[in-house]
Amino acid sequence: MNDFRFRKKYRLRHRREYDRVFSQRVRAGNDVLLVYGARNPYDYPRLGLTVSRKVGKATRRNRWKRLIREAFRLNRHRLPQGVDLVVIPRPQAQPTLESVTRALLHLARRVERKLNRRQGPPPREGSAGG
């Protein structure tokens, strides 16, 4: 059975982690979300959230955060591995789990393609030469 818990290891928890992602300047967006990304040294994706007051009052911001976390939690295995993602909702969008999930998967793949073009694909485990 798959483990769908949202453990601490799947979260960006420190300011320096967010700063590293934003400094890479690799992003993709649509009318629902804006996603920034950077490589991480792990074999799983991690999520960071930034939901500003432009999105609305606290209840609306909290709904956005719940939906983004849920989309990440349920689709972690479908997201690019070894990538840190910082997700920012668009203020004008109406959040639904379906739209957030679709946007997150699509934009995470676009960020991964941009990272691959910039840095090359990440090395695979067990494929070290020598």
pLDDT of 130: 41
Domain boundaries, position 73? 10-118
pLDDT of 121: 62
CATH for 73: 3.30.230.10
Q: What is the pLDDT of residues 58-73, one digit of tens each?
A: 999 999 999 999 999 9
Confidence band (pLDDT; 50, 70, 90) for 120? Answer: low
Per the DSSP assignment, residues forming a β-bridge with 85 are 37, 47
4 belongs to a structural domain: no
pLDDT of 6: 82
How far is CA 14 from its chain centroid? 15
Burial 67-96 (b: 16+ CB within 10 A, else e): bbbebbeebbeebbebbbbbbbbbeebebe
pLDDT of 38: 95
Residue 125 has pLDDT above 60, yes or no: no
The token duo for 119 is 């840095």
pLDDT of 4: 79
72 belongs to a structural domain: yes
Residue 78 has pLDDT above 50, yes or no: yes
127 belongs to a structural domain: no
Q: What is the pLDDT of residues 79-116, one digit of tens each?
A: 999 999 999 999 999 989 999 999 999 999 999 999 99
pTM, to two decimals: 0.86
Instruction: Share the mean pLDDT of the chain.
Output: 90
55 belongs to a structural domain: yes
129 belongs to a structural domain: no
19 belongs to a structural domain: yes
1 belongs to a structural domain: no
Tell how many helices (H) and how many strands (E) occur in the chain. Answer: 3, 4
User: From start to end of the chain, where are the E strands?
Assistant: 27-29, 33-39, 46-49, 83-89
The answer to whether residues 122 and 113 touch, using CB atoms and an 8 Å cutoff, is no
Query: Residue 107 CB: number of other CB atoms within 10 A?
Result: 22
60-66, long-range: CB < 8 A, 24+ apart? 63/95, 64/89, 64/95
| Token pair 């668009």 in the structure block, residue | 90
Number of domains in the chain: 1
